[in-house]
A and B are shown apart, each in its own frame.
Chain A
Amino acid sequence: MESLRKFIQCIVTLLSNSYLLFPVSKNIYQGPLKVICSPGLNCYSCPASTTYCPIGAIQQLLLGIRFSLETGAYLFGAYVVGTIGLIGTTTGRISCGWLCPFGLIQELLYKLPFGRKREVFPYLRYVKYFMLIAFVFIFPLFLTNDWGMGKPWFCKYVCPAGTLEAGLPMLLLQPDLRATLGYLFYNKLFWMVVFLVWSVNTSRPFCKTTCPLGAFYGVFNKFSLFRLKLIESKCTDCGACAKVCPMGIQFNESVGSTECIMCMRCMREACEFGAIHLTCGNLSLTANQRFTKKKRVISENDAVI
């Protein structure tokens, strides 16, 4: 299951960034596919990107909302929020675990065998809600300049995915841009380095603490169409699920947690009692769940023999 998830993460990352002519064109992709929403965090100013980033698009629409309304156009992000709302309602935070390119980068960095592996300070997990509400919605909407234009606060001051996927590649592609570098770029570079280095000894620190898209999807975890459920009668509270969870949660104590990215490692690798199962509505999708348990039983029998 874990190798399937990695495979899907890699395929989606490649599909979301499949414009391979950018070294020749020296520009970003400008085709019709960019009307499709990237389910994960993938900067749309990345030269190879073929989809739009919902977080970037919402901010862009909100910061120019006054001009839109003056011209009689009601462009306040309904299409974008509607799209990610539909993704969230259907799958909750599955996109974070299975489809997010920046999540994949963090997971690969965490595999590096350096330093002691640690967990994030619990209160830092609330920062992502502040990022979503303030940096994505309120600041771009209300903190405007003399001409009534806001700024894309999250992209401009925080987003490490933008620096990694778009800022640095654009500087390589268009050397003229290097003359314009200043405080803004070094601030973003700082945050990118912080999150990448942090990822080496902490699993998915950006997803846990800062990602506004993850915060948005997480709200749906309790009632999304696809979600993980616990069969309480089968749970022994052994804590095995917590040991494999990349988000550092114990599933049986926090069913439907906003932190759960539904990677399903708890279900497939940890729980030996079949207490966790994936459902679509009320339909269980994990009837043939415990092939790993069978393997374990066989190996135990072998050991006895």
Chain B
Amino acid sequence: MKQKPTEKAISKITVFAFIFFLSLFIFGVNANEPKRVLEQAWNICLDCIGIG
């Protein structure tokens, strides 16, 4: 099936967005962000749940 020009543009945006967010994800992993997220998630944030 032949793609319409708009469909081609959309496909390009999808690929670009995917690469962009994948790069962000990899940068975050390299910066050791998952460890920080894990530490945050292990603690109860009383402020966040409206207590304290």
Contacts and interface: CB of A to CB of B under 8 A. Distances in A.
Most-contacted residue by chain B among A57, A159, A223 (CB, 10 A):
A223
Interface stretch (A3-11, A103-111, A124-132, A178-186): A178-186
B37 A79 contact: yes
Contacts of B11: 281-282
User: What bracket does the count of chain A residues touching chain B fall in?
Assistant: 35 or more
A73 B32 contact: yes
Interface in A96-126: none
Given A162-B50, A223-B13, A89 B31 contact: no
A-side binding surface: helix, strand, loop or mixed? helix
B25 A83 contact: yes
Given A74-B27, A163-B49, A163-B50, 11 more contacts: A45-B44, A61-B40, A85-B25, A152-B48, A155-B48, A166-B48, A171-B51, A177-B52, A220-B17, A225-B14, A282-B3
Interface of A: 27-28, 30, 32, 34-35, 43-45, 52, 56-57, 60-61, 68, 73-75, 77-83, 85-86, 88-90, 151-152, 155-156, 159, 162-163, 166-167, 170-171, 177, 180-181, 184-185, 187-189, 220, 222-225, 281-282
